[in-house]
Structure formats: C-alpha cells, structure tokens
Amino acid sequence: MNTIEILRALVAFDTTSHRSNLDLIHWIADYLAGHGVKVQLVHSDDKRKANLLASIGPDIAGGMVLSGHSDVVPVTDQNWTSSPFALAERNGRFHGRGAADMKGFIAASLSAVPAWRRQRLRRPIHLAFSYDEEIGCLGVPQLVEQLKAQVPAPALAIIGEPTEMRVGVRHRGFFGHRAIFTGLPAHSSDPSLGASAIEPAAYLVTRLAGLRRRLADQGGEATINIGRIDGGTAINIVPGCCEVLWEFRPKDEATAELVRSTVREALADLPAGVTVEASQVAGVPALSARDNDAAVSVARELGALWPEAELPFGTEAGFFQQVGISTVVCGPGSIAQAHQPDEWIAASQLQAADRFMQSAGAWALAKPAARLTSTLKTA
C-alpha cells in the first residue's frame, strides 16, 4: 500500500480523543505483522486505548524513533464540505480529519516499512504511536516507559507533527490546572452566615491575570489563560462552590516556578470557612534546543527543511527529551490546517514525507556512528 492508500484507511477510523483508538491500532498492528514486524501494545488502564511500539532492523542501540499520535480533535459544530472520516482529494489536497495532524506522517512511515524490511538495516527504526495527545498527552508517558524498558537506547527521535517538513527544535510547555473552591452557602441577606467560594477564586484569577500582563510586557514568551470559571447557584445565595480551569505555557522552568509560586501565594490565606482543592490536570514538558544536535543533524540529512523553527504549539517531543533522547519535531502538512473544518494536507507534502522515509532507510543502512548513540536516563 502506498502512503495515500494508508492515509485513506487511517482517516476512516474516527479516533476523536473521547473515543477508543483500538480499531486503528489493531489495523496498524495487523499491517505491520503482515510485513513480519513484531508489535507491542500497552493499553490504558480502562483497556479502551493503546500505544503501539514496533521495531524494524537489528536489536541494538543507536536507532531512530519515528513517533506520532493516533487521536484527532472533534468535528462537532464544524462545517465540512465532505465527510471528515473519508479522505477526499481536491486540487492536489487530501481532506480529512487528521490528514495533517498527524495521520499523514504515520501513513508515510507505514508505507516505508516494506522497503525497510527488504533491506538489511544496520540500525533500527522504531515506530512509536500514542493515544490522547490532543487532550493532554495522556498516553505518551506510558509509551516512553515502554521504550525505555523494551528498546536499546535510541540515538534520536523525530516527532512527526505538521511543520511543513521544517526542523522544529524548541517549543513551550503546557500545564493545565483546576482549582475547586468550597465555601458555605447562606442566604445573601446576611453573607456573614456563609463563606463565599467565588471571592477567593476571583482573587486567584486576578493574580494570574496580573502575572499574565507582566509576562506579556516581557516579550510574551510565556502565556497564561483562564479558560473556564463555574460557580454559584443564584444571585441571592452565598456561593458554596467555584471551579477555575486555567493553563500556562512557560518558556523554561524558571518561568514555570514563577507561575506556581504566584498560585501558592494566592491560595495560602483563604477566608475562614473556605477550602480549595488544586490539581494539575495536564502536563506537557517544553522541548529545549539543548542536547538535540544528533536529531537536528540526522533530520537535515534526511531532507528536513532549514532554518530551524521555534514551534508555537506543544508536542510530545519533550517527553522523549526528558529521558535523554535527542529529539526534534518534523512532519508533513501545516499546523494552520490542523483542527480546522476541511482539514487537508498537500500531495506535495506527502511526497516530501515519502522521500524523508526513503532517506531514513538509507540512514539505517549506513554504518552506525558512535557519536549518535545516546543513553536513556533511568530517572
């Protein structure tokens, strides 16, 4: 099967994050097994979803990881010209949910498997596909742990998010938080009989908004967003509950700690009768430009475009970098098309991805270079 045929099959699976991805994962597993590739699956706790890890070539260190996520965002309330789960070609563009983000990359890597299998690779190529990236990168921590346990240390990882085949070397992290304030309801004719949950929630929002403005004045490299506030019952009832959902995207750990310390201060002195339950609901580490020379060098060798890019969106790349794998982001399609109605990927981008995968095979055929072998961190 060629890349377009595989992409058509992948798009046909509705892998919106609230649904199971197992039908797609089992299809990929069967496809790989048909080409003699051993596949490992690691399921989510509820068994409704799974990561997939497969390796082509020798069982040695120094290989290349090609990674992508299997889930897509919803199509609800979007006006599509054609079915979002049936790949449609129009004017050199292939339309379908996930075509750009990021089933095009997965399709190109799967299409190259038969050629890689026919060759006597001297370095392995590992395929690593995750679940639930779109709702907080929930599957990839398991996938990385599986990689550490089952695969000799790879030299590099390429995360195939849509960059129009440019090399993405850095992006900010993403951390989502929830704060639930609980007070004491009472009749508003005498507020002293109750304890408002909304007032301390509003104080937290005010502190975060002030910090957001400070960060914006410093260049906007880190952001804060208050995404949702829900509290109270009626105008004449002291509110007994209020929930705040918010997120921040730091450029580095120092900025992340500044945000966290601001929140700690805001929650340190609650009014009498009010409690708060604060928790992190999503965490995606930043991708740093440090320690990724090996991945940058190989990506350029494979045909990735230059100059390097700082990406405006988050990816799973930081999880691989955290365990000591040199990592970059590079894949076909444009992020401008992601999450949009009539999402599309250009035929020329799929062709570029095919050439990239052919070059990956040539890289794996070459004699390993000692300098490209990294060691996975154990903690």
Active-site residue, 134 included: no
Q: Report which of 97, 124, 111 is spatially closest to residue 31, judged by C-alpha positions.
A: 111
- Distance from CA of residue 66 to its chain's centroid? 14
Q: Report which of 360, 361, 377 is spatially closest to residue 326, judged by C-alpha positions.
A: 377
Active-site residue, 71 included: yes
Q: Report which of 243, 241, 245, 247 is spatially closest to residue 230, judged by C-alpha positions.
A: 243
Catalytic residue among 71, 161, 247, 342: 71
List CB contacts of 340: < 8 A, sequence separation 6 or more. Answer: 78
Q: Which two tokens stand for residue 14?
A: 């509705």
Secondary structure of residue 310 in the 3-state scheme: strand
Neighbours of 64 (CB within 10 A): 23
CA quadruple 356, 357, 358, 359: dihedral sign: positive
Q: What is the DSSP string of 211-261?
A: HHHHHHHTTSSSEEEEEEEEE-S-TTEE--EEEEEEEEE-SSHHHHHHHHH
Could you tell me the domains of the chain? Answer: 3-171+285-372 (3.40.630.10), 174-284 (3.30.70.360)
Contact 279, 178 (CB under 8 A): yes
CA pair distance 240, 233, nearest whole angstrom: 8
Contact 152, 123 (CB under 8 A): no
Q: Give, for 43, the enclosing helix (H) or strand (E).
A: strand 39-43
CA pair distance 321, 71, nearest whole angstrom: 22
CA pair distance 183, 10, nearest whole angstrom: 49
pLDDT of residue 379: 38
Secondary structure of residue 369 in the 3-state scheme: coil
Give 326-364 pLDDT, tens digit per residue: 999 999 999 999 999 999 999 999 999 999 999 999 999
Q: Report which of 158, 195, 131, 119 is spatially closest to residue 365, judged by C-alpha positions.
A: 119
Q: Report which of 252, 255, 267, 282 is spatially closest to residue 178, judged by C-alpha positions.
A: 282
Positions of the chain with pLDDT under 50: 371-375, 378-379
* Site of tokens 């894949």: 331
pLDDT of residue 370: 52
Catalytic residue among 101, 133, 199, 342: 133
pTM above 0.75, yes or no: yes
CA pair distance 335, 333, nearest whole angstrom: 7
CA pair distance 204, 219, nearest whole angstrom: 23
